[in-house]
Amino acid sequence: MAAPLLSAALRGARAGRSFGTAAVLWKRAAPLGPMPNEDVDVGNLEALERYRSFTRYFRQAERESREPHWWNTYRKHSKPPAEPPRDIGLPCERPSRAKEIKERRRILRENRRNAEMERAARLRTALIPLDDVRAEWERTSGPFHKQRVAEHCGVFRDLFKGATFTPWVALRVQYSQEDEYLVPVYYGNMVTPSEASSPPTVSYEADKGSLWTLLLTNPDGHLRDADSEYLHWLVTNIPGSDIKAGKEMCHYLPPFPARGTGYHRFIFLLFKQHGPIDFSQDTRPTPCYSLKMRTFSTFDFYRKHEDAMTPAGLAFFQCQWDSSVTSTFHQLLNMREPVFEFVRPPAFHPPQVKFPRHQPLRYLDRYRDTEEPTYGIY
Amino acid sequence: GLRFASTTASPQTKTEVDTSENEIVSPNFTNRNPRNLEQMALARKERGWKTTWPKREFWHRLRLERTQHYVEAFVERSNGDVVVSASTREWAIKRHLYSPKGVAACKNLGRVMAQRCLEAGINFVNFKAIIPWEHRCDSIQEFEKAMEDGGVVLYEPRRIFR
């Protein structure tokens, strides 16, 4: 027992590096929660309920993997628990629930008594009207779905630094083309800069006498500073839903995502004003083609007018470079067009070891400064 | 004389100052859009998980859950976050259906789901998370056909490595 230790110590002394024998002392303690399958009585397996089908087992396994556990999981490691976000939107206005439920139950009972619907469902020819479904969806679960998609596109993270709101007001934005063609803007669809060259028609349901603010911003396109946005359109003190009657603080500038930078988000925000607000500090001169004047921060803008308005509507689209962007840069912005190229992050290699184990000969190529390979294609 | 010259010169100098600073562009550009890399097919897909099923090598996955009482469809990311969902439990869809389960419900759910996916900008979706012997049944075939007819491609493009 002493000989290997002594030879190891001598080897260490000869190499000039010492080896360590320190180890972490593991303390045995009780588990921090119940062990899985603890409630299964192993002695009486015949009495257990079986799955009898793979689908039932698979669904149970998926549900179980989504539950939080007391041991460390990959889910906890990749997505640490975040604090609940602040809600800055309008309060939820739901009608009385009992009447709604009664009405819905009546409609469902009528459906079940309807013989034609039963025949269509049996012969698989039933086709529901998608427009009615969409209209009803916009009224009931639309705002939550839109908030979820916006959360995934990072809209709240970039514009409001994490504070979210539910877009209760359905904002309908449409770009009209030359031949009566309409390009709608929903929550994340693709629109080209040539289609978006002129201001769109915006419509939403508004009470008479209410004042609104419409804002179009691009959080991704800033050519100098990564944290600020470009303001493309700002119309304030809009009475009702008539955009033309509102005061245009900043005239419409068509989108100009630079070539090679990929897809940019262009976000329409609709704020409901509690009363007439003075936006003299945010006025831009007409015409405003200076990118410095167009640099904008929605967070600061909202912070300034926090008490007088709340965000109520949201619509955004994704936009990529297109040949009309070149003319926007040359004619409107009076500058040379910037072209970018995607740069991959460098490949990660662990720190180099003097005697690597089970590595091919190209191991040396990974740490050499020049590009020459060791031999052939290896 | 001098005043006259200054009044004609000032509007010109204003526009020059306005757009002359536009040329200054930083050499490094950062795009904060989380969907940018996956739309350009450059984002990483989770390539591990090769010993388990279903695999997580996708950007968006379409998952269909059929229970005894309703049918639900989710489009989710590899970390589990649901992006777009449609279910026959929602009032908007339930009111037009005779029954919230079955082949007709799956077909109509497919049509509604395709519309919502296209509105959200999700054009390519991975539909591999179905059990093979269930994939052949009528309701899932109808759902798949409805999604294809709606315009969503059920195949995710390969990531660009070079």
Segment A58-79, tens digit of pLDDT? 999 988 988 889 999 888 888 8
Burial of B58 from C-beta contacts in 10 A (0-12 / 13-18 / 19+): buried
Residue of B nearest to A110 (CA): B98
Considering all CA atoms of chain B, what is the largest pairwise distance in Å, rounded to the nearest integer? 92
The answer to whether the CB atoms of A188 and B93 lie below 8 A apart is no
* CATH superfamily membership of A159-332: PEBP-like (3.90.280.10)
Segment A302-357, tens digit of pLDDT? 999 989 999 999 999 999 999 999 999 999 888 899 999 999 988 899 999 999 99
Q: Is residue B130 part of a domain?
A: yes
B31 contacts B52 by C-beta, under 8 angstroms = no
For the sheet with A172-176, list strands across it: A182-185, A172-176, A201-203
Beta strands in A138-178 (DSSP E): 172-176
> Which secondary structure element, helix H or strand E, spans residue A271, and what is its range?
strand A264-273
Question: Is pLDDT above 90 for A133?
Answer: yes
Model ipTM? 0.89
Q: Is residue B42 part of a domain?
A: no
Question: Is pLDDT above 60 for B13?
Answer: no
What part of B 73-112 touches A (C-beta under 8 Å)? 77, 79-85, 90-99, 102-105, 107-108, 111-112
Secondary structure class of B134 (helix, strand, coil): helix
C-alpha dihedral (A289, A294, A295, A298), degrees to nearest 10:
-160
Segment A85-114, tens digit of pLDDT? 889 888 887 778 899 999 999 999 999 999
Burial of B10 from C-beta contacts in 10 A (0-12 / 13-18 / 19+): exposed
Beta strands in A298-350 (DSSP E): 309-319
Q: Is residue B128 part of a domain?
A: yes
The answer to whether the CB atoms of A290 and B23 lie below 8 A apart is no
Residue closest to A181 by CA, chosen among A161, A166, A164, A201: A201
Domain that residue B89 falls in: 58-150
What part of A 4-63 touches B (C-beta under 8 Å)? 54-55, 58-59
CATH code (residue B67): 3.30.420.80
Q: Which residues of chain A lie closer than 8 angstroms to B97, CB-CB?
A: 111, 121, 126, 128
> At B7, is the pLDDT very low, low, confident or very high (cuts 50, 70, 90)?
very low
User: How many separate domains does chain B show?
Assistant: 1
Contacts for A321 with CB less than 8 Å, ≥ 6 apart: A193, A257, A258, A259, A260, A261
Question: Considering chain A, what is the average pLDDT of its residues?
Answer: 88
pLDDT score at A361: 84
Contacts for B87 with CB less than 8 Å, ≥ 6 apart: B70, B71, B72, B73, B93, B109
Rg over alpha carbons for chain A, rounded to the nearest Å, is: 31
pLDDT score at A5: 55
Q: Rounded CA gap, A225 and A232, in Å?
A: 17
Q: Is residue B13 part of a domain?
A: no
> At A14, is the pLDDT very low, low, confident or very high (cuts 50, 70, 90)?
low
Residue of B nearest to A317 (CA): B121
Which one of A59, A188, A290 has the shortest CB-CB distance to B18? Answer: A290
Sequence ranges of the domains in chain A: 159-332
Q: Is residue B19 part of a domain?
A: no
Segment A220-271, tens digit of pLDDT? 988 888 889 999 999 999 998 888 898 888 889 999 999 999 999 999 999 9
Percent of chain A surpassing pLDDT 90: 55
Q: Is residue B131 part of a domain?
A: yes
A162 contacts A84 by C-beta, under 8 angstroms = no
Residue of B nearest to A108 (CA): B95
Q: Is residue B158 part of a domain?
A: no
Contacts for A5 with CB less than 8 Å, ≥ 6 apart: none
Nearest-5° Cα angle at B59, B56 to B61: 70
B73 contacts B86 by C-beta, under 8 angstroms = yes
Distance from the Cα of residue A27 to its chain's centroid: 43
Segment A173-190, tens digit of pLDDT? 999 988 889 999 999 989
Question: Is pLDDT above 50 for B11?
Answer: no
